[in-house]
Amino acid sequence: MFSRLVFGKKGEPAVLEAFLDKSAYERFRDYVMKNRLSESDAVVKILERGMANYWLFEFKQMKASYMRIKKLFEELKKDNELLKAMQMENERLKNILEKADLKG
């Protein structure tokens, strides 16, 4: 189940196959009807817009992802500090006991 481009002879139309999320497909159908385009013409216009604004959309996605990752990062960091603190404390307590044993 992969989206792909299938090329024939050079210069001849190519076949585009895509697997879209249901919501993206519904927006595609709306776009076709609203703009009264053939599906092929609609796909061409959509692809052109996608390529022209690629970095803008990547930036927008990154900003949204940043907030999610930040929350996850804080949680992972907090757990990391706690688990490491337990490890270090065990080492510290072992040292105290060793010294106490040596004393006597």
Partner 1 sequence: MKIKGNPLRDDGHQKRRNDLIGALEAIESREKVHIKVTIPYETAERVRLFLKEKGILEGQGIPLLIQYGLSSESEEELERLKREMNSKAAHNLWGEYAVMKFKAYEYLMENKAMVMRLSNMLYENRLLKRRLQLKGLQKLIPKDEWDGWDESVIDSYYHKYVFGKSPPAPHGKLK
Q: Is 45 one of the binding residues for partner 1 (CB under 8 A)?
A: yes
Q: Which of 34, 36, 86, 102 binds partner 1 (CB under 8 A)?
A: 86
Of 33 and 60, CB closest to partner 1: 60
Of 1-30, binders to partner 1 (CB under 8 A) are 1-5, 7, 10-22, 24-25, 27-28
Q: What's the rounded Cα separation, in Å, for the pair 20 and 46?
A: 13
Q: What's the rounded Cα separation, in Å, for the pair 3 and 16?
A: 8
Cα separation values, 70 from 36, 46, 49, 67, 102, Å? 43, 32, 30, 5, 48
Q: Is 88 one of the binding residues for partner 1 (CB under 8 A)?
A: no
Of 33 and 44, CB closest to partner 1: 44
